[in-house]
């Protein structure tokens, strides 16, 4: 009983997840890849006898695989097929001519033999069409268990399909196979082809989404040699790449925010930590700044104190100088006074001496005159 309940719970969970995936897939991305079905292309390849019939099937309206209008002229684009060889590996390109000078790869079907009668295959949607490389491959389910009543456990495993039995695959490996290159180009199309107007997404969506679930998306490149052979011949259009980049830039943020909520929350938490760290760092920096300011202020104060001391020392020196000047001035004044006094003394003493000498000379002259007079009187008498 418990096992039955557990199995029912698992079935309900699987149905819920499947419904969630279908609902998520119903949303249009706005990219050109919305209008081309990769699993539909594989289904047509599986049912085609060769690559020429495969190209014809791709471009038939009733197959509902192609809804592309890359050059935006209001008509469906013609998809041509080109095979590229390298040993036993095939890189079959699905390509749209946009004008007489440009073309754009939509996808590449890569095939390799991995045994005498065994081959593996993948189709890879171009990143300029799907926004990223979209790898789709066929798969089968194999079950084991189921014996021992209704409560017995039954395991299902998905295995990679051997595509050797596909007629188109066997065709490209037949001896004498000539590499297929579509003869059609811009404005030169087969007479049977009539372009039609693209369908709106609401009309196209059921054909794009609800196909037999025999193909799955994977992230692993299993066909290595063919993938290397395709890389040098990949063809891209500048106009398509620019348009896709614009769509991704415009709508990509919304998709990422919806698809990676947990990452976004983690990023927000991380942002908070970063902000907190930034704030802490800012606070630390502010504290450091305060310390630096304080240090600057202290240094300024120290410098101010030093300046004050220097000023004091300068003032002291100036005072000392002033005192010295005063002393020197005093000394000069004293010397001047002394000199003045000595000069005066010298002047006074010289003058006195001169006066004395003059007085003596005068006295002598007077005495001489008297003696001359006396002599004259004696002679007269």
- Asked whether residue 238 is assigned to any structural domain, the reply reads yes
Kindly state the tokens that stand for 251: 């709508």
Quote the pLDDT of residue 363.
64
The 3-class secondary structure across the chain, one letter per residue, is CHHHHHHHHHHHHHHHHHHHHHHHHCCCCCCHHHHECHHHHHHHHHCCCCHHHHHHHHCCHHHCCECCCCCCCCCCCCCEEEEEEECCEEEEEEEEECCCCCEEEEEEEEEEEEECCEEEEEEEECHHHHCCCEEEEEEEEEEEECCCCCCCCEEEEEEECCHHHCHHHHHHCCCCCCCCECCCECCECCCCCCCCCCCCHHHHHHHHHCCCCCEEEECCCCCHHHHHHHHHHCCCCHHHHHHHHHHHHHHHHHHHHHHCHHHHHHHHHHHHHHHHHHHHHHHHHHHHHHHHHHHHHHHHHHHHHHHHHHHHHHHHHHHHHHHHHHHHHHHHHHHHHHHHHHHHHHHHHHHHHHHHHHHHHHHHHHHHHHHHHHHHHHHHC
pLDDT of residue 51: 98
156 conformational bin, left if phi > 0, alpha if psi -120 to 50, beta if neither: beta
Establish if 9 belongs to a structural domain: yes
Q: Report the phi/psi class of residue 81: left, alpha or beta, with left for phi > 0 and alpha for psi in -120 to 50.
A: beta
269 in a structural domain: no
- The overall longest dimension of the chain from CA atoms, in Å, is 206
DSSP bridge pairs for 185: 188
Phi first, then psi: what are they for 312, rounded to 5°? Answer: -65, -45
In a domain, 106, yes or no: yes
How does pLDDT run along the chain (381 residues), one tens digit per residue? 555 556 665 555 554 444 444 434 457 899 999 999 999 999 999 999 999 999 999 999 999 999 999 999 999 999 999 999 999 999 999 999 999 999 999 999 999 999 999 999 999 999 999 999 999 999 987 665 555 555 555 556 667 899 999 999 999 999 999 999 999 999 999 999 999 999 999 999 988 876 666 899 999 999 999 999 999 999 999 999 999 999 999 876 443 333 323 333 333 333 433 333 433 444 344 444 444 444 444 444 444 455 555 444 545 444 444 455 555 555 455 544 444 445 444 445 555 656 666 666 666 666 666 665 666 666 555
Count of domains forming the chain: 1
Q: At what angle do helices 51-58 and 38-46 cross, to 10 degrees?
A: 140
The answer to whether 88 and 95 are in contact (CB under 8 A) is no
- The pLDDT of residue 319 is 43
Rounded Cα distance, 198 and 71, in Å: 12
Would you state the pLDDT for residue 209? 76
> Is 285 within the bounds of a domain?
no
Residue in the structure block whose two tokens are 């004050």: 308
84 lies in which domain range? 2-259
Q: How far apart are CA 316 and CA 325, in angstroms?
A: 13
pLDDT of residue 282: 42
Query: Looking at residue 160, what is its pLDDT?
Result: 85
254 vs 188: CA distance, rounded Å: 41
**Residue 303, domain member (yes or no):** no
Considering the domain boundaries, does residue 165 fall inside one?
Answer: yes
Q: Is residue 314 part of a domain?
A: no
């Amino acid at each position: 009983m418990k096992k039955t309940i557990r199995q029912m719970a698992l079935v309900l969970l699987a149905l819920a997840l499947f419904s969630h995936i279908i609902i998520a897939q119903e949303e249009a991305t706005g990219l050109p890849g919305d209008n081309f079905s990769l699993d539909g292309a594989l289904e047509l390849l599986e049912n085609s006898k060769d690559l020429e019939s495969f190209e014809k099937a791709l471009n038939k309206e009733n197959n509902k695989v192609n809804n592309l209008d890359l050059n935006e002229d209001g008509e469906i684009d013609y998809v041509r097929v080109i095979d590229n060889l390298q040993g036993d590996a095939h890189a079959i390109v699905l390509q749209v001519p946009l004008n007489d000078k440009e073309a754009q790869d939509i996808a590449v079907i890569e095939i390799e033999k991995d045994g005498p009668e065994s081959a593996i295959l993948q189709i890879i949607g171009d990143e300029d069409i799907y926004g990223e490389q979209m790898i789709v491959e066929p798969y089968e389910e194999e079950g084991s268990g189921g014996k021992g009543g209704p409560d017995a456990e039954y395991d299902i495993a998905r295995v990679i399909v051997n595509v050797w039995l596909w007629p188109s695959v066997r065709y490209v490996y037949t001896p004498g196979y000539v590499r297929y290159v579509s003869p059609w180009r811009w404005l030169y199309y087969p007479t049977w082809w009539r372009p039609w107007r693209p369908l709106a997404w609401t009309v196209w969506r059921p054909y794009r989404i609800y196909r037999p679930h025999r193909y799955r998306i994977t992230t692993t490149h299993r066909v290595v040699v063919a993938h290397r052979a395709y890389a040098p011949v990949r063809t891209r259009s500048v106009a398509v790449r620019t348009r896709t980049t614009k769509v991704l830039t415009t709508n990509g943020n919304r998709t990422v925010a919806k698809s990676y909520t947990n990452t976004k929350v983690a990023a927000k938490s991380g942002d908070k930590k970063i902000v907190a760290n930034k704030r802490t760092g800012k606070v630390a920096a502010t504290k450091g700044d305060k310390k630096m300011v304080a240090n600057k202020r202290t240094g300024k104060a120290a410098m101010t104190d030093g300046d004050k001391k220097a000023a004091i020392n300068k003032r002291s020196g100036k005072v000392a100088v002033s005192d010295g000047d005063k002393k020197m001035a005093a000394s000069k004044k004293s010397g001047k006074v002394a000199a003045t006094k000595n000069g005066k003394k010298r002047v006074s003493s010289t003058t006195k001496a001169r006066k004395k000498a003059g007085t003596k000379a005068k006295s002598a002259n007077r005495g001489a005159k008297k003696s001359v007079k006396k002599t004259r009187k004696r002679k007269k008498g």
